[in-house]
Amino acid sequence: MSFFSSQNIAGKPHIDSDYSWFRLCISVLISLVGSAGMWAVVIVLPAVQEEFGIDRSAASLPYTTTMIGFALGNFLFGRMVDRFGIAFPMMAAALMLTAGFMLGSLSGNIWLFAVAQGILIGVGSSITFGPLIADISHWFERHRGVAVAAAASGNYLAGTFWPLILKDIIAMDGWRDAYLLVAIASFVIMTPMALLLRRRLPPQVVDLTTGTVVPPVVKRRIDISPRVLQILLCTAGISCCVAMSMPQVHIVAYCADLGFGVTAGAEMLSIMLAGGIVSRLLSGFLADHIGGVRTILLGSFLQCVALFLYLPFNGLVSLYVVSLIFGLSQGGIVPSYAIVVREYLPAKEAGERVGLVIMMTVIGMALGGWMSGLVYDLTGSYQAAFINGIAWNMLNMGVMALLLWRTRERGPAPA
Q: Which residues of 232-258 are buried (b: 16+ CB within 10 A; e: fewer)?
A: bbbbbbbbbbbbbbbbbbbbbebbeee
Q: H or E segment at 45? A: helix 36-52
Global pTM? 0.80
* DSSP reduced 3-state for 217: strand
Is the per-residue pLDDT at 412 higher than 70?
no
CA-closest candidate to residue 16, choices 145, 157, 186, 113: 145
Please give the Cα distance from 46 to 260 (Å, whole number).
21
For 358-404, the pLDDT digits (tens) are 899 988 888 887 888 888 888 888 899 899 999 999 999 999 999 99
For residue 275, CA distances in Å to 33, 268, 324, 331 come to: 21, 10, 6, 7
Angle of helix 333-344 versus helix 350-379 axis, rounded to 10: 140
Q: Is the dihedral of CA 279, 354, 26, 193 positive or negative?
A: negative
Q: What is the pLDDT of residue 325?
A: 93
Torsions phi, psi for 206 (to 5 deg): -110, 130
> Which long-range CB contacts under 8 A does 102-109 form with residues at least 24 apart?
102/179, 102/180, 102/183, 104/179, 105/176, 105/177, 105/179, 105/180, 105/183, 106/176, 109/52
DSSP structural state of residue 381: S
**Which residues touch 37 (CB under 8 Å, ≥6 apart)?**
66, 97, 100, 101, 117, 121, 122, 124, 125, 182
Is the per-residue pLDDT at 194 higher than 50?
yes
CATH 1.20.1250.20 fits 18-200, yes or no: yes
Q: What is the pLDDT of residue 56?
A: 64
Q: Which residues of 77-113 are buried (b: 16+ CB within 10 A; e: fewer)?
A: bbbbbbeebbbebbbbbbbbbbbbbbbbbebeebeeb
Please give the Cα distance from 287 to 267 (Å, whole number).
30
For 250-270, the pLDDT digits (tens) are 887 788 888 888 778 778 887
Domain positions in the chain: 18-200, 217-412
Is the per-residue pLDDT at 246 higher than 80?
yes
* DSSP reduced 3-state for 199: coil
Please give the Cα distance from 94 to 9 (Å, whole number).
34
Q: What is the pLDDT of residue 177?
A: 93
User: How far is CA 408 from its chain centroid?
Assistant: 28
Q: Is the dihedral of CA 312, 316, 317, 323 positive or negative?
A: positive
**Which residues touch 240 (CB under 8 Å, ≥6 apart)?**
296, 300, 303, 333, 334, 361, 364, 392, 393, 396
Is the per-residue pLDDT at 10 higher than 50?
no
For 310-321, the pLDDT digits (tens) are 999 888 999 999
For 97-142, the pLDDT digits (tens) are 999 999 999 998 989 999 999 999 999 999 999 899 989 988 988 8
The answer to whether 145 and 339 have CB atoms below 8 angstroms apart is yes
- What is the average per-residue pLDDT within 205-211? 47
DSSP assignment string, 65-134 = HHHHHHHHHHHHHHHHHHHH-SHHHHHHHHHHHHHHHHHHHH-SSHHHHHHIIIIIIIHHHHTTTHHHHH
Please give the Cα distance from 42 to 177 (Å, whole number).
16
The answer to whether 295 and 287 have CB atoms below 8 angstroms apart is yes
Q: What is the dihedral of CA 351, 357, 360, 365, to 10 degrees?
A: -100
Please give the Cα distance from 93 to 317 (Å, whole number).
42
Please give the Cα distance from 367 to 237 (Å, whole number).
12
Superfamily holding 217-412: MFS general substrate transporter like domains (1.20.1250.20)
CA-closest candidate to residue 93, choices 193, 14, 163: 193
Polymer length in residues for the chain:
415
The answer to whether 407 and 220 have CB atoms below 8 angstroms apart is yes
The answer to whether 284 and 146 have CB atoms below 8 angstroms apart is yes
Strands 411-412 and 205-206, by their bridges, are unpaired
